[in-house]
């Protein structure tokens, strides 16, 4: 099925929504993040394809796409301090909340202990 928003954009020749290239981003927690106990992670997925790839993006890129109807964006809090079982439980809860909006995010985040301080 053709996405009506995309059709209107292409038919008018207005390609402004496509001016941003999606750059993936890998967070690098800093000491302040570890003191706080979590980081905020930012994600993006095509709005018209729930099976499309989920991209992790920077906060700046998130701001550029937040009002773009062609993409779904979502943030989630990612715990990085605590007992392993607590971190897993907390991060799984965040993923479950985000997966209501981004169907493929569970595949993108298989390591629930990613970025934890050892």
- Yes or no: say if 44 and 71 are a contact pair by the CB < 8 Å rule: yes
**Domain map (residue ranges) of the chain:** 4-108
Instruction: Quick: pLDDT tens for 77-104.
Output: 999 999 999 999 999 999 999 999 998 8
pLDDT band at 13 (very low <50, low <70, confident <90, very high): low
111 SS3 class: coil
Report the C-alpha gap between 17 and 32 in whole angstroms. Answer: 35
- pLDDT score of 58: 96
Q: Is residue 61 a contact partner of residue 81, using CB atoms and an 8 Å limit? A: no
pLDDT of amino acid 29: 97
pTM: 0.81
């Amino acid at each position: 099925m053709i996405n009506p928003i995309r059709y209107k954009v292409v038919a008018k020749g207005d390609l402004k929504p496509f001016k941003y290239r999606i750059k993936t981003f890998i967070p690098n927690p800093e000491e302040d993040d570890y003191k706080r106990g979590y980081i905020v992670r930012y994600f993006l997925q095509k709005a018209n394809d729930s099976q499309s790839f989920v991209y992790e993006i920077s906060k700046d890129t998130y701001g550029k796409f937040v009002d773009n109807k062609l993409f779904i964006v979502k943030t989630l809090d990612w715990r990085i301090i605590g007992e392993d079982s607590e971190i897993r439980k907390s991060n799984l809860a965040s993923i479950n909340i985000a997966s209501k909006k981004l169907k493929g995010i569970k595949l993108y985040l298989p390591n629930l202990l990613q970025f934890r301080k050892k």
